Structure 1
């Protein structure tokens, strides 16, 4: 059990990028014992905040304080492939000393290396078992582990240190289903201070509170992700009602200002006509005119002040409404007739020895699952023609597009619109811009260079380029599309794919996402391709 005094906090934290762009100003954040899910849009600064809390970045102002030992698991983990597992776990010296003592060498330095940790190997085995790494040999090298095993091994190294505060940045990225379940269990059983950045819905259902990072500020919500989304929906409904009320007030104030100006204009006209008719001394007429002008000025100023106040209230109300729009696009040319043959794999042998037989007919939505290293990406690369099969043939019978994990489809030095035009050369610039607006790239955004986009924006631009391509793709293949997407981007992706009318082949470990797509067939790859029950 971690001590209840453990805490991590930042006070008036400020951070700016090297080019001077401010990310945080006077940000306050405190997390005590319990599990905190840190959520926010891509580019809001979640990973940067974790790095500041972990001491990997230096704030430009303010302070970070940690009570207790801190452990940090970054999003991208790189380990020396030649290192042995026990060294990565930090037990190499204690383990070697223990073996030396057991073999009869009673040198004092061995006892110093072991200290009180006489059960180091048993404790290590228990930790590895709990993370699904029971079969990992402590003497093997890291290079023989899969990417998912490397993530879990790095987490095991942190847990063995028994930190009081644990920071995890997208820990389930690239983990297969079984590995995710082990990590979920580790998070659910954590008793210290935990802050986790994740888009994994199942993981975020195991936290105690949600910290929502938006526009450099944290808003706290008690409970799990589902409870956060419920509370947020209530807030947004209230905010939208406030906007409608404020819009009505602005319209009313505009109308009253117009009516006041018309009334004043009528009075002024009446005064001129009286002056033209004569009958009153000029000094009296001048005094009346001055009083009328002063009264008109006060009257107009009052209405203008009221209108300005109404506009300020509207702007404030609009700022509380989130602009996390959904993608809404109609793609009729992607439609595939129900019995149209889309894809044939007849006893194809992939690189790595995996065999696959698959027939896809019509607009099927197929989820492809399997453990890390099972060959899922190899299968997609083979269907896409990027890898040649060892034997057999992959026959794609319709126009096909493929979005790999590496997101290298687009030219970073060209604009979003130029990239789309490259895949749809027959489309007019006006049509491309109209379609990109439906993918939430509005106004001048299509002219933005792809290289300047955030990860979520780049994914959305890549998806738009694929789905708007000519000829329209009737088979769309996606490899781990939700990796590194925030929750809003996952919702946007799901809504876009609901508009797609062709056949889908999606590799993902994100089961809630797959369920949201309306998957019609579930396949697993484990030496061979087999159909399984829905997850």
Structure 2
């Protein structure tokens, strides 16, 4: 890894095939160090990383980096049945090492090994550092989402890239794995660019880039310093808007007063002309002079108003849109004493194998926590009947809906409003659109194909489809719902859940989020202890 590692982008422009612009003339230059990239969902963060990694082709612009490049996408999937060493990219090297040990001295074998004689030791040490108790010959099997992310990160770090791109790497990680990843980020000595909504991770970077309207603005320091700087900017921008609005009102008032005065003068002139008290030639000259003066006067005030309106528009451009979801869900209400879910001697097919007994009543809000692989996702899928239990039973007594981690409840080929129609077939189109507007899909936005949505927009569409479903879900199950959501989108989710009046079971590692949604009970699947 070179100390002169660098990444540079010049005039990068990218649009989707339908013409929707994403990046417009974006430029950046990064040297060794850790940079975080933030921005609203749909602003193009993941698209930018895919462009940098060569997975997408820009419409124009150049991308240059010194040395080798590593990339960990947010939607990493591992082929079940593949071995750990294959995922790490060292399967062929290990086979060559075994051949050398067996006496094979062919040129091809030595070329395969290259300088990687200690690759097995380095790989094992790296897995251990990331908290992965995996053998190199071990099949991947049914790994949790968090374990898959860490194994993917291990594969990138083992290659020792000069430039490393990470897209939402803390998704699905438990607290121990979070700590391991933070340590790996701090130890990386090349160019690191990480897209994340994780405040804790972003406290480990040296600078923050804010991707907004197709360009990046950089702020020195951690996420806390960025938030403070942005809050100051927004306060000044809002003050500028108030001042500009006052100026527009003043200019409109002065234009109206000027027009009133000019109209009064014209009436007086018409009366004098009609009386015949002045010669016609004198009156004509006076009238022409008055018209010219009136035109200049009116034009002056109109120009001032136009200038004030332009300054107002410019000031408004600097104020961020922090739209929030507004939704009322009275159909989800459940009496406090009613049992909505009962788990009896339930043993999961994956995860911890101790029997689980749990009763959920009324509008309880339960957090499922535990280490990666403890069975949180399996439990949610068992409750909804997608996975059969190893033994025991799950009795679901009210309408329920599950929002999975991968948000695969939507049909990519359909629009947002048509997806909602799949869940609420009896509602008319106007009613669906009115409801979608409260989830910030207004007008043409409701007609977008789901395949074109960003991660946060897709989440919001799925949430709308589930919460507006018929019958209304009186038990809502969420699996790591804040994954891939920016700060504003998390605020929107909290707003929507505040209006859900039924029971809630949430699997999440996001402690700040769990605090905000009013969790009433916690179930730790690692310890089978409820509190």
TM-score normalised by the chain length of structure 1? 0.89
TM-aligned CA deviation for residue 167 of structure 1: 0.9
Could you tell me how far 1:438 is from its partner in structure 2?
Answer: 2.9
Give deviations 1:333-387, integer Å, cap 9, x for gaps. Answer: 4344443333211212343456321111232211112344433223222322444
Distance 1:80 1:448 in 2: 31
Residue 522 of structure 2 corresponds to which residue in structure 1? 522
Partner of 2:152: 154
**Gap change, CA 1:427 and 1:131, over 3 Å in 2:** same
Shifted more, 470-479 versus 165-174: the winner is: 470-479
Q: How big is the alpha-carbon RMSD for the aligned residues of Structure 1 and Structure 2?
A: 2.9
CA pair 96-451 structure 1, distance change in 2 beyond 3 A? closer
Residue 343 of structure 1 aligns to a residue in which SS? strand
Q: CA deviation at 1:446?
A: 4.1
Whole-angstrom CA distance in 2 between matches of 1:162 and 1:497: 43
**What CA distance in whole angstroms lies between the structure 1 residues aligned with 2:105 and 2:457?**
61
What is the match of residue 315 of structure 2? 317
| Secondary structure of residue in 2 paired with 1:504 | strand
Q: Deviation per CA, 1:156-197: give whole Å up to 9, x if none.
A: 222222222111122223334433332222112222210011
Equivalent-residue separation in structure 1 for 2:145 and 2:382 (angstroms): 21
Q: What is the aligned counterpart of 1:223 among 218, 221, 224?
A: 221
Q: Indicate if the aligned counterparts of 1:357 and 1:529 stay in contact, CA closer than 8 A.
A: no
The answer for the alignment partner of 1:42 in structure 2 is 41
SS of residue matched to 1:393:
strand
Q: Secondary structure at the match of 1:30?
A: strand
In the aligned structure 1, how far is the partner of 2:111 from the partner of 2:432?
Answer: 70
Match of 1:167 among 165, 168, 172: 165
CA distance, structure 1, for counterparts of residue 425 and residue 93 of structure 2: 64
SS state at 1:493 partner: helix
1:203-259 deviation digits (Å, cap 9, x = unpaired):
222211111111110011122222222222221122111111111111111111111
In the alignment, what sits opposite 2:500?
A: 500
Distance of 1:125 and 1:361 partners within structure 2: 47
In the alignment, structure 1 residue 67 sits paired with structure 2 residue 105:
no
* Equivalent residue number for residue 344 of structure 2: 346
Question: CA 1:283–1:432 in 2, change beyond 3 Å: closer, same or farther?
Answer: same
SS at match of 2:56: coil
Q: CA deviation at 1:292?
A: 0.8
Aligned positions of 1:73-472 closer than 5 A: 73-81=72-80, 83-92=82-91, 94-99=93-98, 114=113, 116-133=115-132, 135-143=133-141, 145-352=143-350, 355-410=355-410, 416-417=416-417, 419-420=419-420, 423=423, 432-448=432-448, 450=450, 452-472=452-472
Q: TM-score, normalization: structure 2?
A: 0.90
Q: Structure 2 vs 1, CA of residues 457 and 15 (structure 1 numbering), >3 Å: closer, same or farther?
A: closer
Q: Distance in 1 between matches of 2:57 and 2:429?
A: 45
Give the Cα–Cα distance (whole angstroms) in 2 for the partners of residues 354 and 21 of structure 1: 51
| Whole-angstrom CA distance in 2 between matches of 1:445 and 1:78 | 30
**Following the alignment from structure 1 to structure 2, what is the Cα–Cα distance between the partners of residues 254 and 238?**
24
Change (3 A) 1:394 1:491: same
Aligned length: 529
Flag the 1:255–1:434 CA change in 2: closer, same or farther, 3 A: farther
Unmatched 5+ residue regions in structure 2?
A: none
Q: Distance in 2 between matches of 1:31 and 1:261?
A: 57
CA shift for structure 1 position 54: 2.2
Partner of 2:343, secondary structure, is strand
- 8 Å Cα contact 1:342/1:360 also seen in 2: yes
